[in-house]
Structure 1
Amino acid sequence: MYKSIIRPLFFLFDPEKIHHFIFSLIKTLSKIPGVSSIFRSLFQINDKKLERKLFGLTFKNPVGLAAGFDKNAVLYNELGNFGFGFVEIGTVTPNAQEGNPKKRIFRLKADNGLINRMGFNNGGVEAAIEKLKQNKGKIIIGGNIGKNTATMPENYTKDYLECFKALHPYVDYFVLNVSCPNVGSHAKLNDKDYLLELITAVQKMNKTFDIQRPILLKIAPDLNEIQLDEIIDLVDETKIDGIIASNTSVNREGLIASKEQLETIGNGGLSGKPVKDRSTKVIKYLAEKSNKAFPIIGVGGIHSAEDALEKLNAGADLVQIYTGFIYEGPGLVKEINKAILNDLN
């Protein structure tokens, strides 16, 4: 029903506008007595075999929602009813910002992909905290943090620390987003020496709290093997808790979309099926080259249960979906969890 009726209807409208409409729809429906229970009965699988213990946390299942969907932490309680094992909010920046000019999300229907150049549009860290205070404790929440676009390079770390300190009491783990291609100059964020500085500073602040939160680094799918070796060395040196592989891609190779369509769209991060193999390749390389020395959350191009199992078999400990959730519908989460259970038997 979703792919035959609902998705074609939604796809008639601007992607960003329909995104906000869906948020309002889920929020409104969830306020009707009994509707949340119906969602849970349709989409959740509760089985102890699906549990994953990672970073000192117990995930009720290994399928999460990637950052970018619930940027401002307004829907995580309701999204928990759709079977996710965890939801990552953000990317959150210290101050609210509009992001890049609209139009900034584009569907590549033939490729089952999206190109976005949102630019960390969000309401700022204080607005996110107000929403996180309403947490009903049903689901693990990750906090994906970044810098404001206008922040000067010498103050990048300050931005991350401000978000980290403010969000610390309200999220279960953190993700340092250093790989988004849509936030202006981010060359410094990909420099190993700077990453060492950033991670060390965040870890130092983490130790000032009675409870330390796991800290992960989100990397791009476009890194070459030399850069991936640097990531492995970085994890070894800093003992950061894990890696999320991967973010969106700037690579346009192998797309069905025409050159004219891509030129009309312009720059932005590519997600969905076109990045599936690139993401899996990164996961496999990191896992094998490091001898599985650290946890990996696999994300990128998961549109089916088979795609998710491929990520897990490549070395991912957990997986996240986003574009696949839009193209395949909410039933994808249950489909993946069922396949994981079948794979265990």
Structure 2
Amino acid sequence: MPDWSYQTLFRPLLFKLPARIARSATLHAMGGLSRIPGGSLVIRTLGHMEVSPLLEQKRLGLDLKYPIGLGGGVDPHGTAQRALAQFGFGFTEIGPVTMEPVRSDQPIVLDRAQEAIVYPDAPVNDGLAAIVERMRRKRDHPLPSFFRLCPMPGCTPGEALVQIRSMLKALNPFAAGFYLDISEDSWPSDIIDACTMEAVRLTKSEAADKPVLLYIQPDTNEEAIMARLANINEAGIVFEGVVIGDAITVGDSQVVGRAVRSSVLQKLKRIRSVYPAESFTLIAAGGVHEPQDALDLTEAGADLVQLHSGIVFSGPGLPKRVNEAILYRIVSRLPAPPLPSFWQGWGWMCLLGIGMIIGGIIAWIIAATTVVLPYDLSFLCTDAETLASINERLLPFMSHDRITLAGTMLSIGVLYYQLGRYGLRERLHWARTALMVSGIVGFSSFFLYLGYGYFDPLHATAAAILLPMFMLAMRDRKEEPYRRKTNVANNPTWRMAQRGQFMLVVLGFALVIGGITISTVGVTKVFVPEDLEFLMTSPAALDSANPNLLPLIAHDRAGFGGALLSNAIALLATALWGIQQGARWLWWTFLGAGTPAFAAAFSVHLYIGYMDFWHLSPAIFALVLYVLGLLLLYPYLMRPISASKTDRA
């Protein structure tokens, strides 16, 4: 469920449901997908969260791939942990955890205007026994987990310490560390301080090799926080840091949302001014709804951030966007590496693209004039006049196949040239992956020409010339992080771009299906019913007129299907992974790649009179998606990112 589908389709639907039902349905869907064969690959493919060593941190005795954590309130029952772990998180919080289950019948309320979630004022969870059983039964992701331990509501300080000891013993085998959340409102502040101190001491003794962090809610009195930390230090108890939580108490409820951010920022700055980053970890868990929020928190002193309500309101792509924003801040302070030379890899891809463009132009000219080539006629053992006499619509029909193939070749050429020049040249991982998969499919589709026993010497020659270029382009395997400024705000331009990306991704998937279908038909039935209605004949009649005619037409159809599939994969991968604000070249790439393909498809159908609506409906649907995608993406891709932090939703 990436942002382009979440913002466009799923969020409007889910926000109409009761919050508990919407959360359960979403998590069960993601969890179910991650558990079926290939499901995790689908999740990774849609999100494509790249790992960069620049984001890795050595914190709390752990090697964290990403500085982003998953808050415990997102998936309290552990339904979709395996799926969520692939969104770009470096660690997870599990909790709150209490000795006994804590239930609540009160509804969870979404405040859309304030981007807030209102929970019952209780540490609602499944209880220690259920959580331990869950960890034993399905530990299905590699991320380190921190358990947030809470005493039962209404217990005494002595009972709280006994409960914490029991939870420590039970959870220690599964824990990377612990958050201690001791904030009983009915206790005096000095009792809370004393209990907290003993809880830290107890945790350090029971889980000697595990980091311990204090969990403090954002609305806790700032002076009380500093006094509590000072008391623990004066007692000589070593603990690793503080988690500033994600909820404030309003009446009988806990509110999680954007409004928490200001309180978290204030406490971060105060704590960091006393405790240096080298020996003390600060985790900010509240108010991150867009990448700029995370940047502000890290600038204020947070070493790590956790996401909760931002996942609900911004979408599951938020951790990836935050990672990209933090990565850009890092690389912007580093010297840019030299660009590779033209012949090191990317230049060969540009030449391959130019070769495809030239080949597409030549193919279009031939298909619009003679249609068939001498070796085609040699294979048929006939001449053009005899071929035309078999069926007056036969040559126009073959022209229709070959011109659409030419338009597809032009589209591939534009995509390959642009991805080589702007993607491979900057050594972007997603661009190399897109070209690799598309190229392998494209060159492999040459063998579809043999599906009916026809060997095309021109296509074989072209493949023999272009394949070495592809292999030379793919030899440079070095990768660099994206060095251009990324989007950091959930502003209207970004929201509109999600709809535009949705259109192009759907277009890409539709073309993939179309390419597979056309290839399959080409090497099996050869024709669809609408083709035979246009030709006013049957396959048997054509075969009786010339037994080599069907293999020749099948070769055209299968070749077009393979080229369309290769083109669709490059387009789909670019739409899925490459869209970044201010990437003007990408908008021009979409325009340049789509225009010749659609122009070829519609012009040849109009010219030969093959205007069956059902036959053209997929192309019309694709054109609508294409135009809408370009229009909706235009402001996002063509306008530079504002330098102002005030450009927010």
For 2:189 and 2:330, the matched residues in 1 are separated by 43
**2:250 corresponds to 1:245:** no
- Report deviation, 1:327: 0.5
CA RMSD of aligned residues (A): 2.1
Aligned partner of 1:201: which letter?
L
**Bigger helix fraction:** 2
- Report deviation, 1:195: 1.3
Aligned partner of 2:129: which letter?
E
1:258 corresponding residue in structure 2: none
**2:143 corresponds to 1:158:** no
For 2:282 and 2:185, the matched residues in 1 are separated by 27
* Structure 2 segments unaligned to the other structure (5+ residues): 332-649
Secondary structure at the aligned position of 1:320 is classed as strand
* Per-residue deviation, residues 152-179 of structure 1 (Å, max 9, x unmatched): 4430111111111100001111111224
- Report deviation, 1:186: 5.9
Q: Counterparts in 2 of 1:181-196, with a 5 A limit?
A: 185=186, 191-196=192-197
Aligned partner of 1:128: which letter?
I
1:333 corresponding residue in structure 2: 319
Secondary structure at the aligned position of 1:84 is classed as coil
1:284 corresponding residue in structure 2: 269
For 2:140 and 2:36, the matched residues in 1 are separated by 17
* Per-residue deviation, residues 82-116 of structure 1 (Å, max 9, x unmatched): 22111111111122232x3322x211111111121
- Report deviation, 1:224: 3.2
Q: Counterparts in 2 of 1:1-345, with a 5 A limit?
A: 1-43=5-47, 44-98=49-103, 100-103=104-107, 105-117=108-120, 119-133=122-136, 134-149=138-153, 151-179=155-183, 185=186, 191-207=192-208, 212-237=209-234, 238-250=237-249, 267-292=252-277, 294-345=280-331
For 1:305 and 1:320, the matched residues in 2 are separated by 12
Aligned partner of 1:61: which letter?
Y
Structure with greater contact order relative to length (CA < 8 Å, sep ≥ 6): 1
Distance 1:190 1:281, change over 3 A: farther
Contact 1:232 1:290 in 2 (8 A): no
Secondary structure at the aligned position of 1:202 is classed as helix
Secondary structure at the aligned position of 1:269 is classed as strand
For 1:330 and 1:137, the matched residues in 2 are separated by 17
For 2:192 and 2:263, the matched residues in 1 are separated by 21
Contact 2:106 2:120 in 1 (8 A): no
For 1:142 and 1:130, the matched residues in 2 are separated by 16
- Report deviation, 1:269: 1.4
Contact 1:219 1:247 in 2 (8 A): no
- Report deviation, 1:58: 0.8
Identity %: 28
Q: Which stretch has the larger CA shift, 16-25 or 186-195?
A: 186-195
Aligned partner of 2:221: which letter?
N
**Bigger strand fraction:** 1
TM-score between both structures, scaled by the size of structure 2: 0.47
Contact 1:115 1:271 in 2 (8 A): yes
* Structure 1 segments unaligned to the other structure (5+ residues): 252-265
Q: How many residues align?
A: 322
- Report deviation, 1:127: 1.6
Secondary structure at the aligned position of 1:71 is classed as coil
Distance 1:36 1:276, change over 3 A: same
- Report deviation, 1:204: 2.2
For 1:175 and 1:225, the matched residues in 2 are separated by 19
For 1:272 and 1:80, the matched residues in 2 are separated by 22
Contact 1:149 1:184 in 2 (8 A): no
* Per-residue deviation, residues 289-338 of structure 1 (Å, max 9, x unmatched): 33445110111110111100111111111100100011011110100001
For 2:192 and 2:314, the matched residues in 1 are separated by 36
Contact 1:188 1:194 in 2 (8 A): no
1:260 corresponding residue in structure 2: none
Larger radius of gyration: 2
Aligned partner of 1:11: which letter?
F
For 1:198 and 1:7, the matched residues in 2 are separated by 41
For 1:192 and 1:240, the matched residues in 2 are separated by 15
For 2:200 and 2:299, the matched residues in 1 are separated by 28
- Report deviation, 1:150: 5.4
Contact 2:19 2:110 in 1 (8 A): yes
Contact 1:83 1:334 in 2 (8 A): yes
